[in-house]
Amino acid sequence: MENLTAEPPHVLAVTADPTVTQQLSDQLNEEFQLTSVQTANAALATLDETSDMQCIVSDYELPEVDGISLLETVRVQHPNLPFIIFTGKGSEAVASRAIHARVTDYLIMDRFDNQWNRVIELIKQAIEFHQARSNLTDMGVRLQNILQAFPDGVVILQDNSIESANQKARDILGIGASVDLVGSSLDNIIPTDNTFSENNLSAISSGELYIDRVEIDSLGTSLKSAVELTTARINWGQAPAVLLIIEDISQRKTSERALARANEQLRVVNRVTRHDIRNDMTVIAGWSGELSSHLDDEGQAILDRIQKTVECVTDLTTTVHDFIEALGTGQRPKLEPTAVCDTLDSEVAKCRSMYPKATFQVDDEFPDISVQANDLLSSVFRNILNNAVQHNHNENPVIEVGCRATDGMVRISVADDGSGIPDGQKDSVFGRDQDGLDDPAAGLGLYLVNQLVDGYNGEVWVEDNEPAGSVFVVELNRTHEGQIAG
């Protein structure tokens, strides 16, 4: 592999003394890329032609103008370029002029026995310092660019004073771009009131991880902004600081309120509709029972279909109710230890009663274990069991139900002997594809199953059964003794 080394620093030497020129060449060429000129005008021309010059070393005594006059001219175009002046005869007046012109270093040559080693040392120090300062400046510019591009308001605090604030923070707080915030205290821009207290300010100033939702005044207006404040300790300019992020959540709060209203309205509609539909289905079931003794065999077959439809509609109202309950506030459900096999036994018993022509083959004994779930776990099993019967083309379907436990998981399987589910629809039936419930293969019951199992941090999928049919598999996290479900 080729060994790549950095180019030596480029140094411009300015002196009209041939002896000094030769000495500079002899001493500096080993450490630096050296360019030598004799006059100030030649030095300025070289600077214009060269973009990589990193330091100027100039004799004080030059033809036409002195080294300090050259320094003053260079500073107009290159205010931070390292510039070292050396002289054989120094004076306080010369030193004062050089310092006033912002010389990097000033060296009286006769004072040092190893004077050229001293010059080399000063050049290296000046270049290193200039590079470090440039890096810090570049980093500061990059940080400011990042802050300005940040989508939320950002304020940097040091010793309870503002060091920096981006435009988004100004917009949220109602502060114009012309207002100088540097050095201001936080309570000058976020007034305390009954919603934003001194405790809020104290928590922010401490720099501890802090997240809170508050409403703050926008300065110069009567409006309040709903914001989320997040703080953390950082280093800023190599010193401890506090990062304050101000996120405007006014739109989110409006959406949350609208969603809460919609959810409440949906619950009311669900309650009323479910009550009315179930009442109507009860009436239909009652009258159809009265018809039974008046029908021949053909009529009885039609009545059986009517009664089965009544059962399906009634079951659908339960599924819709569970679905709306599962929607909740959009947050993940609170989980608790739930007896999985007791719940499964209960749902199998209900299905046996509802579908007397179906055969349910159940493991001899389910293990007595709990999983991380909630009371809607019954809806998971009910919808899978109902699906196994309702979508089965056989007149007398056979459903096999199993439950197996490992150290960390519980796996429940429901196998049917129906026509099966094509591989391309094994996800679609749960509404997992892009179209969700709009997919023709999706059903509300299995969509609800997928949503509930996902909320339980479990998994559900479909496999092929042999020789025909499908196997629905639900895998849930086991709750061991003494464990608290999350």
State pLDDT tens for residues 332-355. 678 889 999 889 998 898 888 888
Say what the pLDDT of residue 215 is: 67
DSSP reduced 3-state for 81:
coil
Could you tell me the sign of the dihedral formed by the alpha carbons of 200, 204, 209, 213, in that order? Answer: positive
Say what the pLDDT of residue 35 is: 93
Tell whether omega for the bond before 367 is within 30 degrees of 0, i.e. cis. no
Query: Are 80 and 53 a contacting pair, CB within 8 Å?
Result: no
Other CB atoms closer than 10 Å to residue 313's CB: what's the count? 14
- Strand ranges for 19-104 from DSSP E: 33-37, 53-59, 83-87
Query: Are 36 and 19 a contacting pair, CB within 8 Å?
Result: no
> Mind giving me the DSSP string for 367-391?
---EEEE-TTHHHHHHHHHHHHHHT
Say what the pLDDT of residue 485 is: 45
Say what the pLDDT of residue 413 is: 94
Q: What single-letter amino acid sits at 461?
A: W
State pLDDT tens for residues 410-427. 999 999 999 999 998 998
> Mind giving me the DSSP string for 296-325?
-HHHHHHHHHHHHHHHHHHHHHHHHHHHHH
Regions of the chain where pLDDT drops below 70:
1-6, 110-113, 135-141, 143, 191-197, 207-224, 266, 268-270, 272-275, 319-320, 322-332, 436-437, 439, 441, 480-486
Say what the pLDDT of residue 328 is: 59
Say what the pLDDT of residue 484 is: 41
Long-range contacts of 39-47 (CB under 8 A, 24+ apart): 39/14, 39/63, 39/64, 40/14, 40/64, 40/65, 40/67, 40/69, 40/70, 40/73, 42/14, 43/12, 43/14, 43/70, 43/74, 44/70, 44/73, 44/74, 46/12, 47/12, 47/74, 47/77, 47/78
Query: Are 412 and 343 a contacting pair, CB within 8 Å?
Result: no
Say what the pLDDT of residue 221 is: 47
Say what the pLDDT of residue 136 is: 62
- Distance (Å) of CA 451 to CA 333, 427, 432, 473: 11, 13, 10, 15
Q: Distance between CA atoms of 182 and 169, rounded to whole angstroms?
A: 13
Other CB atoms closer than 10 Å to residue 18's CB: what's the count? 9
First to last CA, the chain: 55
Query: Interior CA angle at 21 toward 16 and 23, to 5°?
Result: 145
Say what the pLDDT of residue 486 is: 46
Q: Distance between CA atoms of 61 and 16, rounded to whole angstroms?
A: 8
Query: Are 220 and 177 a contacting pair, CB within 8 Å?
Result: no
